Amino acid sequence: MSPSPPPDEVTDLEARPAAAPPRRLDAAFMRRHPAHWIALGFGSGLSPRAPGTLGTLWGWASFVLLDRWVQQAAGPAGWGLMLVLGFGIGWWACTTTARHAGLDDPGAIVWDEILAFWGVLWLLGPLGGFWGQLVAFALFRYFDAAKPGPVRWADRHFKGGGWRGGFGILFDDLVAAGCTLFSIALFVAVWRAGT
């Protein structure tokens, strides 16, 4: 017969709240908190099909619309500042939204795609005409959805609840962005070496 646990351990176990059941992420949920608006990509993540793709498209469109304003307001480093601020705000928004949803990484959270794709488009620079951006979009979606190699590693090792969860939601998409940029740089280097 095993010894009974000390009374304080029993109290801790009994006092531990049960996990909240997952909530439905819809327009009403989004309107309940400012963090939800950000994390759900201002509604783009509420798509019943391919919310990550729609969130990335929203990120692309918003980058094109904001680019001139960001460049005029803060110069060439403006997007760097936007990404740093977006990461901090996104960490809070994704953590809060995931906690309120009762899920570690709800598919409707698309701020991670938006922020990561902004970084891709900013760093793509002169190669970033429409066709270059389209290739970057396709590559990013591949790395984000299929999660090969380093993206899968980041997804597995940085997920979880609490503040770590918000970081994990963002981090695997940043790794997918890095893989996208590396693939483009490798292609350009090989192409230039062959000409």
In this predicted model, what pLDDT tens digit does every residue of 46-100 receive, in sequence order? 999 999 999 999 999 999 999 989 988 988 789 999 999 999 999 999 999 999 9
Q: How many angstroms separate the CA atoms of 43 and 18, rounded?
A: 29
Q: How many angstroms separate the CA atoms of 137 and 157, rounded?
A: 25
pLDDT of residue 7: 46
First to last CA, the chain: 78
Q: How many angstroms separate the CA atoms of 125 and 111, rounded?
A: 22
User: Which of 29-33, 134-138, 157-161 has the lowest average pLDDT?
Assistant: 157-161
Higher pLDDT: 18 or 160? It is: 160
Say which residues have a Cβ less than 8 Å from residue 36's Cβ, sequence separation at least 6.
29, 30, 93, 96, 97, 100
pLDDT band at residue 123 using 50, 70 and 90 as cut-offs: very high
pLDDT at 2 over 60: no
pLDDT at 115 over 70: yes
Q: Best-predicted range by mean pLDDT among 20-34, 118-132, 168-182?
A: 168-182
- Predicted TM-score of the model (pTM): 0.86
pLDDT band at residue 8 using 50, 70 and 90 as cut-offs: very low
Rg (CA), the chain: 20
pLDDT at 5 over 60: no
Q: How many angstroms separate the CA atoms of 182 and 147, rounded?
A: 15
| Residues 145 and 179: beta-carbon distance below 8 Å | no
Higher pLDDT: 13 or 184? It is: 184
